[in-house]
A and B are shown apart, each in its own frame.
Chain A
Amino acid sequence: MEAVKRALDKISVERIKLELLGNAYNSSSTVLGRLDPRTLLIWYLFFAIVPWFMHNRTILLGMFILMAVCTVLARASTFIIFILCLGLITQVGWMFLLSLFFGGGGESVLPMLTLTLKLSVISLASITVFSSLDPERLSDGLSALGVPDAFAFSLSYGYRILPTLLEEFHQILLSFRLRGLRPQKNGMLYWRTAAYYLRIIVLVFYPLMLNTAKRSRTTVEALETRGYNYAVNNPQVKKLKLSYLSLKPRDWMFAGVTALYLIALFTLGTAFPELIY
């Protein structure tokens, strides 16, 4: 179980910078990425809520197919989808096994399948939408839909500050390692090594808190000189900032296609509620 060590290696500054930030801003090239963020968010809202209250399996399956197509269109990373599947399988799998233990039988598979279907539709919807929106467009979309400006600002600030924080974290961690002593033996299941790393990761936050405190002070002071407080909750500034958002024909087309599909699906679903099982 070198997992801890490997995970730590993964937390290399460069890697996270490349993987996360590079990908985050790389989404506007897809079909879905060119849609208006508001369209995508409203679309998402529908598919995040409605499935919870659907018990019609045909409709759920139809939605699942739609989501699968959209996920492909959004070119979501396979890694994320893999994680999603793994999570679903373990969660639902354990529930199923335990319910057998409590006296259930094979018949509990079907309701569980329905649950899985619902969860997949919802998760795929979120993957589709959020991997199609780069942080800027997401925050603009949110603020257009009335989410407080502070959140929108924090979102892009997060992307700004992450590499700096990681760098600093990395440096301090290195200082701990350069002056610390790794356990001589790994211990059973590498627990000594794991404990050593977890301990210093926690300890790193002590200096990091102090350093970040200093940093935050300058940042907030600089925000003052850069007119941030002038802009907060100033509707005019917001309008100016969001003026580039516009619903284009492709947004209407996307909404229209989804609506048509859903109408057809609901008709089919009511006619044959148990098309599959």
Chain B
Amino acid sequence: MANNILELRGVSFTYPGAETPVLQDVSLSLTEGDFVAVIGGNGSGKSTLCKTFNGLIPHYYTGEFAGEVILHGKSTEGKTVSQLSRHIGYVYQDFENQLVRPTVLDDACFTPLNYGLADYRQRGERALELTGLTGKRHDFIWQLSGGQKHLLALAGALAMDPDILVIDEPISQLDPQHARHIYDILRSLNERLGKTIVVIEHHTEFIAEYCRSVVLMDGGRLRWQRPVHEALSAVAELLPLGIYPPDVTRAAWMLRPGAPAGTLYPLSCEEAEGSFARRGATETAQRIERAGVHLTELRTERREEHETGLREDHQGGHVAEHGVKGAGEQAVGHGSKGAGEQAAERRVLRNPNHSTAAAAAGEQEPVVHMDKAGLAYRTIHKTLQPVLSEVSLTLNAGERVALVGNNGAGKSSLMKLIAGIAQPTAGTVTVKGITVNGQPPERLAGTAAYVFQNPEDMFIDDSVRGEVSYYLKARHREDRAETVERMLAAFRLEELAERDARLLSGGQQRRVSLAIGAAMAPAVMLLDEPTANLDISTKQEMIGVLHTLRSHVETVVIATHDMALVAEWATRVIVMHEGRIIADGSKEEVFADALLLRRAGLTETQLMKLSRSLGLPQICGSLEEFTSQVSWQEDVKLEHKEEGVALSGSR
């Protein structure tokens, strides 16, 4: 029988000076070996809750505290954060700031050394082994990637061999592949070493896959604590709180209006197998070899859609078909000029010059033109490390371009070249007829606007209004007052205009950063991971905001690994891998090529997977689109899953 490792009894907490408590009468118990997700909207008290576990509240954050925290059956009253931290490891959301030593091994050993444990070195080494960082142990922290830093923060916590690990938003800054890696490690810690793991998480797909139980926080109160399947099936309850259960779950919920509360829905594509059926085509069991059939369908579909691009479509489809087999030796280099040499690497699915948007724009000059552009950095070994090689690309007005690929595939670097922030080490980049090479960034500002991944890096003034008007003010534009008002209105920032942008929520900060870019009225706007670090509901909102952008800018380019965003927003997808463009085409074409996606380190969304396995005419971008094409199969049993939950819950 599992023991309660940690218990909260009637805990309330109010920050000094605050009117309302952040935690109200929270009672909770964590079972040993559990894998718990804490969910809740912004400001629901998730982080505050977790900070009571190791005594940060009330010892570090002083305030009005009531209630009792019981660790291993003993009250923690009178124990310091340091004492409690021997049993509870904490990884912060901004984990970078918890790494305090210059090198990897040193940081991993830091905590045990502080506690005076003689075997601190072995502990550090072991923690690195558990997180797969052993090979990096003599590296500097700054040489690590974001994901590795996160692992190191985890290793620092693990070195103390704590019973409980609390991780605040483990994957918010990672691409799906690295996110999965982190969760796999957490799972093995949980299953192999029996650690109790608590994550604050809003990616419900990961909760569904990895967690065992869910704690829902709402307005400082604990609403419930349930096994994961039950928890995520409460779609109607979660949606108003801004928590979006996995697509599959929501689709099932939408397709079964009037199902009684407490109905269990599938959480993953595997569970949903057989639950959905393509509307109209009743023979659901039919599961044909995907690629062939799918591509054919795709081609017919698209032929109907755009007649202008017929020839390219045909060729594109052809290339894609072959590309699936042999890494594309037969690929036809019919892309923009200069693509010939790289044809072997690059599978051009469709010539971008002939996209519908461009056709509509007539013979207009391209917004961005890159000719064999390359970029290289000097490394610590004094060698040149190429980040981009031989990139040739033409972007036209009216396109919504998504740059996709792994972390480190060169997406940001490509955008920095266009914005003139980085100078190409080879080739040329032309934006609106201006050659970027050698221009100071000030020069290109009004032509190509770059919106940083971290909005805070863009905040240089002390109010939202100041941020938006800075560019116009520097140029003494006379119409700046109206422009600023227009922008504030367009991005719904009027109410926040006098606030300091740094103190706004994540979603509001994004809107400010977009308004800053839009106020410059650039021809091309480059957004680096605009949905990173946002919870799902804010992400939904962002997609709306991105559509607002269209009326202010000729071309928008987004670098992202958020496939849902690509599916809902983009008209053209450029896939990057190791500094090269490996595919360029419409989203339907790119999504249809599963091998390509895998090679670029992209994971399909559940909707994409389902669309594919159901053989829908195209990959669905939104739930509405999906639910309009499928229906629910009533006869599916979910019992087997419930058993599984019960089993794992009682271990």
Contacts and interface: CB of A to CB of B under 8 A. Distances in A.
B60 A224 contact: yes
B276 interface: no
Interface in A83-112: none
Given A179-B520, A211-B456, A218-B97, A225 B56 contact: yes
Interface string B447-465: 0011010101111101000
Given A177-B440, A226-B114, A240-B113, A156 B474 contact: no
Given A25-B140, A178-B450, A210-B502, 11 more contacts: A25-B103, A172-B460, A175-B460, A178-B419, A179-B471, A180-B470, A221-B56, A222-B90, A224-B56, A226-B114, A230-B116
Interface residues of A, number: 53
A102 B650 CA distance: 93
A251 interface: no
Interface string B93-123: 0101111111100100011011110101000
A178 B56 contact: no
A202 interface: no
B54 A168 contact: no
A231 interface: yes
* Residue from B114, B377, B442 with most neighbouring chain A CB atoms (10 Å): B114
Interface in A167-193: 168, 171-172, 174-182
A231 B116 contact: yes
Given A224-B56, A240-B120, A175 B101 contact: no
* Residue from A25, A160, A225, A231 with most neighbouring chain B CB atoms (10 Å): A225
Given A172-B457, A210-B502, A222-B98, A234 B116 contact: yes
Contacts of B458: 175
B380 interface: yes
B378 A18 contact: yes
B478 to A, nearest CB: 15
Interface of B: 54, 56, 60, 81-82, 85-86, 88-90, 92, 94, 96-103, 106, 110-111, 113-116, 118, 120, 140-142, 156, 160, 377-380, 382, 419, 421, 440-443, 445, 449-450, 452, 454, 456-460, 462, 470-471, 474-475, 502, 516, 520
A184 B527 CA distance: 29
Interface string A199-217: 0000110110011001100
Interface string A142-179: 00000000000000110110011000100110111111
Contacts of B440: 177, 182
A157 B116 contact: no
Contacts of A210: 502
18 contacts: A17-B142, A21-B140, A168-B457, A171-B452, A178-B419, A178-B449, A179-B460, A179-B474, A182-B440, A207-B456, A211-B502, A219-B97, A227-B111, A227-B160, A230-B82, A236-B116, A237-B114, A237-B115
Closest 4 CB pairs of A and B: A222-B98, A227-B114, A231-B114, A163-B142
Contact of A219 (B89, B100, B474): B100
Interface of A: 14-15, 17-18, 21-22, 25, 135-136, 156-157, 159-160, 163-164, 168, 171-172, 174-182, 203-204, 206-207, 210-211, 214-215, 218-219, 221-231, 234, 236-237, 240-241
Contact of A14 (B96, B141, B377, B452): B377
A72 to B, nearest CB: 23
Contacts of A164: 96, 142
Nearest to B462: A206
Contacts of A228: 114
A182 B82 CA distance: 51
Contacts of B471: 179-180
A215 B92 CA distance: 12
A171 B513 CA distance: 14
B457 A171 contact: yes
A229 B442 contact: no
Contacts of A176: 460
A237 B113 contact: yes
A218 B98 contact: yes
A210 B32 CA distance: 40
Contacts of A157: 100-101
Contact of A182 (B89, B377, B442, B456): B442
A31 to B, nearest CB: 22
A143 B82 CA distance: 23
Contacts of B450: 178
A81 B440 CA distance: 34
Contacts of B106: 136, 156
A160 B104 CA distance: 10
A247 to B, nearest CB: 22
Given A163-B142, A227-B82, A227-B111, A156 B459 contact: no
A231 B128 CA distance: 22
Nearest to B459: A207
B113 to A, nearest CB: 6
A21 B142 contact: yes
A28 B268 CA distance: 54
A160 B97 CA distance: 10
Given A160-B99, A224-B60, A240 B380 contact: no
Contacts of B452: 171, 175
A230 B114 contact: yes
A135 B520 CA distance: 45
Contacts of A222: 90, 92, 97-98, 100
Nearest to B458: A175
Given A164-B96, A222-B92, A237 B116 contact: yes
B111 A226 contact: yes
A207 B98 contact: no
Contact of B98 (A171, A226, A236): A226
A173 to B, nearest CB: 9
A177 B115 CA distance: 46
Contacts of B377: 14
Contacts of B90: 222, 225
Nearest to B109: A241
Contacts of B160: 227
A240 B118 CA distance: 7
A252 B85 CA distance: 43
B113 A225 contact: no
A177 B419 CA distance: 12
B113 A241 contact: yes
Nearest to B448: A178
Contacts of B379: 18
Given A156-B102, A160-B102, A230-B114, A178 B97 contact: no
Contact of B141 (A160, A178, A181): A160
A179 B513 CA distance: 12
A180 B156 contact: no
A229 B101 contact: no
Contacts of A177: 440-442
A180 B120 contact: no
Contacts of A172: 457, 460
Contacts of B419: 178
A91 to B, nearest CB: 34
* Residue from B82, B379, B419, B445 with most neighbouring chain A CB atoms (10 Å): B82
* Residue from B56, B90, B106, B456 with most neighbouring chain A CB atoms (10 Å): B456
Contacts of A25: 102-103, 140
Given A225-B90, A226-B114, A219 B98 contact: yes
Contact of B110 (A135, A226, A240): A226
Nearest to A173: B460
Nearest to A204: B460
B457 A175 contact: yes
Contacts of B470: 179-180
